[in-house]
Every structure is written in structure tokens, then in C-alpha cells.
Structure 1
Amino acid sequence: MKVTHISYKDTGFFSETMKDYLDSDEKIQPFYNRYPSLQNFGKQLEEKKANNISTTQRQQLVAVLRNQYNNTQTSFETQQNIKNLLKENTFTITTGHQLNLFTGPLYFLYKIISTINMCEHLAMQYPNENFVPIYWMATEDHDFEEINYFNFKGKKVQWNSNQTGPVGRFSTEGLEDVFEVFSEHLGTSRNAIEIKEIFKKGYLEHETLANATRYIANELFGKYGLVILDADERELKRALIPYIEYDLLHETSYKEVSKTITALEKNYKIQVNPREINLFYITDSIRERIVFENGIYKVNDTDISWTKEEILDHLHSKPECFSPNVIMRPLYQEVILPNLCYIGGGGELAYWLELKGYFDKVAVPFPILLLRNSAQILSEKQQKKLEKLNVSKEELFLKQDDLLAKKVVENGETKVDFTQQKQFLQQQFDDLRALAKKTDVSFVGAVNAQERKQLKGLENLEKRWLRAEKRRQKDLVERIVALQNELVPNQSLEERQRNFSEFYLEYGADFIKVLKENLHPLQLEFALITL
């Protein structure tokens, strides 16, 4: 096994927002609290200690977790972590993810492993504190189309259902058919049997999607002490009541996040936009926005409505019916957990960066934001092919046309480079422009037009030459295309396309062990792992 690293920038798959965040660029510094470093974790600890959740909240959190784990075979490590949450010197590191069918894309594993490893790293650095890895299940989401499938060896394994409402409450009915289809693809090897057991016990022996997802995540990571939380709980939401009430009356999240967006969008793309009310109303079959129209609070697309006094009464008597959206969910997390850090992907951290002003306004400590680990998995055979084709790790992530052009030029018998010709042409037209300005300024437009025409002609010649070389080097082109398509499916990082089961089928449980040993959360580089 071999592990190398490259800069996230060199993959070409990370946004300007994330590149600047990783560089701690001064433009982005106002939008977060502390950069992820060991020293700053110490400062975050001190801030959280000064603003810790109460003993009562800890007791309530543990009571909820114990109830949720009641029918789950729980490792000693997880049991101990749940028990430790009662102690005021216990803090959490949290990641969150949707309830994707069979964990969905591969990066689900990277998120959780980053979270577990970060806790272990902090435990060594700060031995007087306890650190608990939390997987926050997005049980209140309703985007079923985003989570009802996963990809396996280029094929889509999909679950169809007409259920509505929060997905965590969905019945697992109908997943027997999905299991039959998936089983046919797996074969009969020892690893295939293990995968089938995980899927079968998860979805066919649990009644809800939340419980099934907890089982699967616990099977994969329970021995590392992962604690899995479903926050769709009445008793947990009681702690959020004051913040919901304040938001309903004053539209706090909308106003504060809007201010931040105005500053942030000067340099960066905005990930999400707030609404005047950033709450949903949920029941077993409903998840709809709460809106305020003509002095009345309403549930969108329903007949449910309240006056101001009625909605506040309802909030206090039925807090479980109020569900924070993407803007308020991070606050909910930080209110009920003794949390130091949120670990997420680039898109997630981009919307967290919109929230610091809101957190400041409601006086809740803003957590450290840490980009999850990201990796490319290669077999030894694929590694050897890369070396034989003389394709570097950085070049692997080039757009395919650019990669082929580069390699065709490098391997051509006649070295043709149009760069000098373009530079020479541009110099000639620079001289012509200078002459035109001295004699007849109106002539400059004609010079510019001719320059564009000449450069376009040179570019067309270059493209024709490349096409001819590609035909001549057909074997090389086909081998590069086949290999890149294997490793970078659909010209996207494989972690966004493939499911963990492809690798588990090949390597078994050792695959997770290898990832855990080689993904280092504070390294902040893209890993390439050859197995």
C-alpha cells in the first residue's frame, strides 16, 4: 500500500471558497471563528467550556441516545462515549449526512472517519477531556429523490416509494425488492455475503429509514465509538424553543444571514439563501415551509394556520412539529451538543460560512469548520498503468480533452508547440496597434479584428494537428481514456459517484481500516491511496 498527497487545488474539483478557506485568505477570515489547527482547538475548548450546555441538557441528550440505541447492539466504545456525554469535560466533533440508501456516495465514509480520527487526535493532545464523534442523521430532510439510490459498478440501484414527510420516518417497505436486485450484482464471495447481511439486516429488519441507517452506520463504525444521533426528538427540540420563538417574531436568521451574504458575495458564490422564516412544519406525512402572510402564520400548501399567540402556544406544546431548515439546523446542533467542530464537504462549509453573524447575534459559539478528508482509491494495477502512461497524480484530474492534448503532444514524434507562434503573432499586432495609435486611432479596431482572426486560424490549425495526432496515437488515447474513466467516473471525483460496497466487495472490512489509518483530518490535502 502507498499513500501520496496533492493539493486540493490540483484536483480542479474544489471551489474558490474552499481554496481560500484552506489558505486562510484574509478575504474569508471574517466569516469563521477559528481556523482548524490544534492550537485553535485549545481556544475553542476554552470558549465552549465558558458556554457549555447544562447538566440537564446533557442528561436529556444521553436519555434520548440510550432510548434510540435500545434495540441496537452497541459496542463498549460507543456505550462509553454516550455515558461520557454526562460529564462536563466531554465535547463532541460532529458530521452530518443525509439518509442515503446504503450510505450513498463513498464520501460518507470519509466524513465519519475524519470525525472519528479528529476525536482520537484531540484525545492525545488534551488528555483531561473526552471527545465523542457524532454522526448527525438528517432525518428531517424531505428530498427523497436525492437519497433513494446509490451507484454500484456504474449501475443505479434505486428504491421507489410514494411516501412523503421527513425521510427518517419513512417505512422501509419495498426495500426487499431492492435487496433482490442488489444481491444479483454482488455474487457469492465472503465479502459479498457480508455486504448482503449488512443491507438485509439494516433495511429488512428495521421499520424506519432512520433506524435502518443507524444500524448500518453502527455496523461499519461502532467499534470506533461513533455515536449516531437522530435529532427528530421532542425532548431535544425543547432546547431550541427560545431560538425558534425569537426567529418567528423577529426573522433573526433571515436578517443576519442576509447581511453576511451581502459581504460574502463580493468574492464568493452563495451556497444557500435564507427565507424570512427558516422553519418547516412536520408530521409523519408533511414537511412544508412555515410562512408569514397578512399577519397570519401558515403552513405552505395546507390549511394549517395560526395567529402569533397560537403559533407560540403550539411551539411550546408541540416543539417536535417545528423543523429547522438548512439555515437553522446548524444552530440546533450547536445548542444541544457540547460541540467544538463541524466536519463537512466543501458545499456544506460554504453555507456554514454564511452563518457566523447569526450565531453571534443569538450568542451561541460558532464551531471550528473542518473540510472532511477526500481521497482517490487506486489498485496496484491502476497505479502501474498510470506510471506506464506517464500520467502524474495531478494530471489524472485534468479535463479529459486537456489531458489527451498534453499526452499526445508529449508522445508525438514531431514536437509541435504553437505557443511561440501565438506569442510572435501577438507581438506583431502589438506593434501594429502602437503604429495605428500614432497615425489613425480608428485603425485600431481593424487591427484588433485581424488579430482575433489570425489567432483563431492558428488555434484551428492546432486543433487539426491534435486530431491528426490523436488518430495516429489511437492506442495511447484509448488507454488514457479508459483509465481516467475508471478512476474519475463521469469526470467527477469517484467519492461522489461510487458506493463503499464496490471496495468492500474487493477488500472487505480492511478497506475501512486502511482509510482510518491513512486519512488525517488536519493534513488538509487530497489523498491518493494505492491498495
Structure 2
Amino acid sequence: MNIVPEPLSLASRLAHDYIHHFDRVSGFYGEDHRGEHGYAERVQWLDLSEDKRIQRKSLAACLRTYNQKHNDHPAVHKSLQLLEQPGTVTMVGGQQSGLFTGPLLVIYKAITVIQAAREAEERLNRPVVPVFWIAGEDHDWDEVNHTYFQTPDLQLSKIKLDAKDGLRTSVSYTDVAEEDWSMMLAELQTQLADSEYKADLLKLASQSFDGSAGLSEAFAKLIGCMFGKYGLILLDSADPGLRALEVPIFESLITRNETLGLSYQQAARDIAGLGYEVQADVSENGANLFYLHEGRRLLLYREGSVFSDRKGIVSLTEEELLRDLHQFPERFSNNVLTRPIMQDSLLPVLGTILGPGEISYWAITRYAFADMGMQMPLIIPRMSFSIVDGTVHKLMEKYGLSFEDVQLRLSEKREAWLASKDELNLEERFNETRKQFEALYQPLIEDLGKMQGGLLKLGLTNKDKILEQMDYLLSKSRNALEQQHEAALAQWKRIEQTLLPEGKPQERVYNILEYMNRYGLNLVDRLMEIPYDASGIHRVVYV
């Protein structure tokens, strides 16, 4: 593999400034992860705040039960043993439980968590264990129920798992029937091109489905198969056993809800005041908590001491909510703004691995951490890659395209190349013909109008029709030119669909199984060997 740094355009200006100009946004975050001081300060605070978190042995016991079921590797058990010991800290990153693991960025995040933990352990000379937070409590089924592959004719192909009941409930609580898993496996078999690795990949997918009640369990098994040997602990945020441990934290989130809400709102105003986009919804009376009612996950809002959803399906006083919390903790879950608080109340988090969007919305939580008597962990950008095979690399060289060209100006470059192949100078000649025609025809129309008023209108209509026919002929001429160079334009399409499918970075679209089918079952292990880089700079991997 040849690894080359190539900047990737980020949609979030706040995340861009965090990575490239930390001084501009430091007020929204904790210590800078790029300096030795940040690590030392964070570790010191973690050592002094042990009593602010869930008791280690209880947490490790809960995680051990979950991982024995879905991620049963000796290295994971070693990580859990270390987690039980005072002084051990964690690197944490998470994602929704996507179909077949979802887009490539999920794999890159897991790699970053593991490598960041290794690097921190060497730096601090103390145990640092990697933890992957599966966001199973999220309810956005449409965000996780599909994944994409590339067809032989360079189109995007989508495999999608439909939910049966249509309830707006947590992904981990959404059941998937055995026949649906069979259908997904059949679709995967169709999507993957024939290769020496295909049979083993289908077996791997089948094993992840076997006995899995839902998407989160299948996801955990696949991630565990890829990363369990590296000691990656898996945690499902919707795990009932974990939820029982979280009761004291939810209690604080409820009793201090108004103060926390004001902190989120103030942070959002400060972010907007500096000209940045606020990346998460911060409602004036948002409780930032979800309540599960009859299978539906309802977002709560607070009016005084009463908590209810927008439609009024549930309405509970603070006292009633707390009573329910102690009796039915599984009914409660976090939203995007309280999840960071929950994560750091459970685990001794040295650093959290975040993508660009996450870096942006974590800024909203800065003051809330302080309100809870906590400090924000180190924010470490996840590593970002684009995988490019030798054929596509040669095509980019053939057409003189840089990675930046593909990102920002591929259409312009393609049009310029096609224009260079136009030996008849179609655009120029048609434009000149239009000008000459209008120069000759317009005076004639005006003279006809002097003869009879109706002829002016008729002449103008006639002129427009003739110009329209010229445009039609030009369009047909362009089509003919494109047909002459159909093979070359297919190569341009291959470059685009490889690096920027549907205008999105490759890592946000394609699935890792497609690349393992091309380059081998050990692809993830080879990606693990890429040198760790905490800068957040995107890199191209030439394979």
C-alpha cells in the first residue's frame, strides 16, 4: 500500500477549524489532543474523579456479559480485566449499527480507536483500552438499514432491510426475522462480484446473522470478527444491563435538566455568534432525553416540572419520571447532546474519536460538561481514507487528474477534455452561426413589422423556433461526440464512482465487504498497519 495525504473538503467549517485552527474554537472544547499537556491533564483529572463514574467492576461485568455473547475473543477479555483496574483509561468511538457494518467510515473509526489507544498507552505508560460504542438506542432505522455496493456498470446498488412493524423504536429493539436475514444474504451474494474471497465473505455474513435478533447484534458480531483480536471492547448503548447501571446518571440528567438545557442553548448561541453552523437541534425547552412508550421512542420536552412529547402521548411530572426511571430504566435513552455526558459518566474516557459532524455537535456540550462537574475528554479526529486501486490511479494519471480535481472540479475537467476532442469546433461554430443568423434575421423581422404589426410577432416566434432547432442539433452533435468517446468517458465515470460516488466521499458510501471481496479477507488487518495519524488529515490508500 502507498499512503498519500490528500485533503478532503469538510462540510462543517467548525470541524475544519478544529483540525486546522484550534485556537479559533478552543473555547468550545477541552485540552488540545495534539500536545503532551492535554494528555497529562486529562489523565490527572480521571484519576481524581473516579467516584464520579459508575463503579468499574459493575461496568466490566456488564460489558463482559455482552462481549461473551457477541465478541468473545481472548484479547477482549484481557481488555476487560484491565478496565476493572484503577488507573486504566479508555479510548472511545462509536457509530450506529449499520447493515453489514454500514459505510467504510465505521471501519476507519474502529481502526482509529484501537490505534489511538495504543499510541496513548505508549505515551502515558499505563493501560489504555479501546471501546466501540454501538449507538443501538438510536431510532433512525432508515439511516442504518442499508448499504451500498458498486455494480459492474459503475452504478450504485443499494441493499436495504425493511422493518416489519414501522415503529419509531431503538434499532437494538427492532427485531429482524430469520427470513429477512436470508434475503439480505441472497442480495449480498448477488451484489458481490465473483472472486476467490466471495464464499468466505458470505460465510462471515451468514455467521453474523445466525442467532441475531436484530441489526445491532449482527453488527456487533461482524465488528467483533474484524477487531476482537485487537482487544476492542463493544458496548451497545441500548443494552438493558447497561441501562440499569445508568440510573443514577439519568437521575442527574432529569433533576438538572433545566440547567443543562440552558447550557446547551448558550453554547449554540456562542457557536452561531462566531459564524458557525449549529450542527444539532437545540430546542428552547428540549429535555434532550427519549422515553420509550408502547414501542415508540419519544423525544421529551420540558414545561416547568412536566415532561412530555410534542404530540402529548406521554406527560409526566419530574417525580413521576424519576419513579419510572427506577422501575423501568429500559424506557430511557439519550439524545445526541446527552450521550457524551453518559459516555463519560460510565467510562474513564481519555479521548473520544469523532468524525467531522460529531466534532461540530460536541461543541454544544462544552458548558454542560462543566454543569455536571465534569471535564470534556480529548477530542481526536477519526482517520479518513479513500481506497484507490491501480487501474483508477493510472486513469487519473492518464487524464492528468489530482485527488483535488476529482473532489472539486471533475465535471469541468471532463468537459474540457471532451471539448479538446471536438475536431469540428462544434460549440464555436454553432455560436457563430447563431450570431450571424440573428444579425441577418432581426432587421428583416423588424422591417416586416413595419409592413404589418402581426408579422413582427410571427417573425419573433419563427426566430425562436429556428434557434431552438439549432440548440437541438447542437445537443445531438454533443451526444454524437460523447458516443465517439464512450469508452474514455466510462473511464472518467469509473474515477468519479470510485472516489466520489453520488458526490459524496467514498468512505461515506461504500461497504467494506466490497473491498474485502476485491483485495482479500485480510484487508482490515492491512489497514490496521497504516501508521496512526491524529491530525484528521484525509489520506489516499493506493492498493
TM-score surpassing 0.5? yes
Q: What is the match of residue 3 of structure 1?
A: 3
Give the Cα–Cα distance (whole angstroms) in 2 for the partners of residues 402 and 247 of structure 1. Answer: 54
**What is the letter of the counterpart of residue 357 of structure 1?**
Y
- Residue 267 of structure 2 corresponds to residue 269 of structure 1: no
What are the superposed Cα offsets for residues 161-211 of structure 1, whole Å, 9 maximum, x if unpaired? 133211112222122222222223335644212221222121232223332
**What is the letter of the counterpart of residue 230 of structure 1?**
D
Q: What is the match of residue 506 of structure 1?
A: 518
**Range moving further from structure 2, 181-190 or 163-172:** 181-190
- In the alignment, structure 2 segments of 5+ residues that lack a partner are 151-155, 424-473
Give the Cα–Cα distance (whole angstroms) in 2 for the partners of residues 315 and 306 of structure 1. Answer: 12
Answer whether contact 1:166 1:284 (CA < 8 A) is retained: no
Answer whether contact 2:53 2:348 (CA < 8 A) is retained: no
**Range moving further from structure 2, 269-278 or 144-153:** 269-278
Give the Cα–Cα distance (whole angstroms) in 1 for the partners of residues 370 and 52 of structure 2. Answer: 20
Give the Cα–Cα distance (whole angstroms) in 2 for the partners of residues 508 and 243 of structure 1. Answer: 48
Q: Please, which of 241, 260, 263 is the counterpart of residue 256 of structure 1? A: 263
* TM-score, with length taken from structure 2: 0.81
Give the Cα–Cα distance (whole angstroms) in 2 for the partners of residues 284 and 87 of structure 1. Answer: 40
How far did 1:312 drift?
2.2
Give the Cα–Cα distance (whole angstroms) in 2 for the partners of residues 50 and 297 of structure 1. Answer: 35
Q: Secondary structure at the match of 1:26?
A: helix
Give the Cα–Cα distance (whole angstroms) in 2 for the partners of residues 80 and 227 of structure 1. Answer: 10
Q: What is the match of residue 107 of structure 2?
A: 109
Give the Cα–Cα distance (whole angstroms) in 2 for the partners of residues 332 and 366 of structure 1. Answer: 12
Q: Secondary structure at the match of 2:121?
A: helix
Q: What is the match of residue 432 of structure 2?
A: none
Q: What is the match of residue 493 of structure 1?
A: 505
What are the superposed Cα offsets for residues 333-358 of structure 1, whole Å, 9 maximum, x if unpaired? 01000001111211111000111011
Answer whether contact 2:91 2:352 (CA < 8 A) is retained: yes
**What is the letter of the counterpart of residue 65 of structure 2?**
N
- Residue 229 of structure 2 corresponds to residue 223 of structure 1: yes
Q: Please, which of 118, 122, 125 is the counterpart of residue 124 of structure 1? A: 122
Answer whether contact 1:53 1:338 (CA < 8 A) is retained: no
- CA pair 409-125 structure 1, distance change in 2 beyond 3 A: farther
TM alignment of 1:116-515, pairs within 5 A: 116-127=114-125, 129-153=126-150, 154-163=156-165, 164=167, 165-173=169-177, 174-186=180-192, 189-232=195-238, 233-248=242-257, 251-266=258-273, 267-275=275-283, 276=285, 277-282=287-292, 285-293=295-303, 296-301=306-311, 303-404=313-414, 479-515=491-527
- CA pair 54-152 structure 1, distance change in 2 beyond 3 A: same
Give the Cα–Cα distance (whole angstroms) in 2 for the partners of residues 32 and 346 of structure 1. Answer: 14
How far did 1:527 drift?
0.7
Give the Cα–Cα distance (whole angstroms) in 1 for the partners of residues 416 and 75 of structure 2. Answer: 51
Q: Secondary structure at the match of 1:498?
A: coil
What are the superposed Cα offsets for residues 402-438 of structure 1, whole Å, 9 maximum, x if unpaired? 333565799999xxxxxxxxxxxxxxxxxxxxxxxxx
- CA pair 257-406 structure 1, distance change in 2 beyond 3 A: farther
Answer whether contact 2:82 2:127 (CA < 8 A) is retained: yes
How far did 1:484 drift?
2.4
**Range moving further from structure 2, 391-400 or 167-176:** 391-400
* TM-score, with length taken from structure 1: 0.83
Identical-residue share of aligned pairs (%): 24
What are the superposed Cα offsets for residues 265-296 of structure 1, whole Å, 9 maximum, x if unpaired? 12211101223211111267221122335753
Q: What is the match of residue 17 of structure 1?
A: 14
Q: Secondary structure at the match of 1:512?
A: helix
Give the Cα–Cα distance (whole angstroms) in 2 for the partners of residues 119 and 32 of structure 1. Answer: 20
**Range moving further from structure 2, 14-23 or 497-506:** 14-23
Q: What is the match of residue 50 of structure 1?
A: 48
- In the alignment, structure 1 segments of 5+ residues that lack a partner are 414-463
What are the superposed Cα offsets for residues 65-116 of structure 1, whole Å, 9 maximum, x if unpaired? 1111233462221110011111111111111100111111111100000110
What are the superposed Cα offsets for residues 225-277 of structure 1, whole Å, 9 maximum, x if unpaired? 110001323332124134223234xx222210110111111221110122321
- CA pair 93-409 structure 1, distance change in 2 beyond 3 A: farther
Give the Cα–Cα distance (whole angstroms) in 1 for the partners of residues 40 and 195 of structure 2. Answer: 47
- CA pair 284-238 structure 1, distance change in 2 beyond 3 A: same
Answer whether contact 2:43 2:350 (CA < 8 A) is retained: yes
Give the Cα–Cα distance (whole angstroms) in 2 for the partners of residues 15 and 299 of structure 1. Answer: 30
What are the superposed Cα offsets for residues 341-379 of structure 1, whole Å, 9 maximum, x if unpaired? 111211111000111011111111101111111111111
Larger Rg: 2
Give the Cα–Cα distance (whole angstroms) in 1 for the partners of residues 25 and 33 of structure 2. Answer: 14
How far did 1:400 drift?
2.5
- CA pair 302-186 structure 1, distance change in 2 beyond 3 A: same
Q: What is the match of residue 468 of structure 2?
A: none
Give the Cα–Cα distance (whole angstroms) in 2 for the partners of residues 3 and 160 of structure 1. Answer: 38
**What is the letter of the counterpart of residue 48 of structure 2?**
A
What are the superposed Cα offsets for residues 122-148 of structure 1, whole Å, 9 maximum, x if unpaired? 122222x11111110111111111111
Give the Cα–Cα distance (whole angstroms) in 2 for the partners of residues 48 and 489 of structure 1. Answer: 43
Q: What is the match of residue 530 of structure 2?
A: 518
- CA pair 68-300 structure 1, distance change in 2 beyond 3 A: farther
Q: What is the match of residue 431 of structure 2?
A: none
Answer whether contact 1:92 1:131 (CA < 8 A) is retained: yes
Answer whether contact 1:253 1:278 (CA < 8 A) is retained: no
- CA pair 295-71 structure 1, distance change in 2 beyond 3 A: closer
Answer whether contact 1:105 1:496 (CA < 8 A) is retained: yes
Q: What is the match of residue 452 of structure 1?
A: none
Count of aligned pairs between the two proteins: 475
Answer whether contact 1:239 1:335 (CA < 8 A) is retained: no
- Residue 31 of structure 2 corresponds to residue 34 of structure 1: yes
**What is the letter of the counterpart of residue 168 of structure 1?**
S
Answer whether contact 1:400 1:481 (CA < 8 A) is retained: no
**What is the letter of the counterpart of residue 269 of structure 2?**
T
How far did 1:495 drift?
0.7
- CA pair 284-371 structure 1, distance change in 2 beyond 3 A: farther
**Range moving further from structure 2, 486-495 or 329-338:** 486-495
Answer whether contact 1:239 1:336 (CA < 8 A) is retained: no
Give the Cα–Cα distance (whole angstroms) in 1 for the partners of residues 509 and 217 of structure 2. Answer: 25
How far did 1:483 drift?
2.1
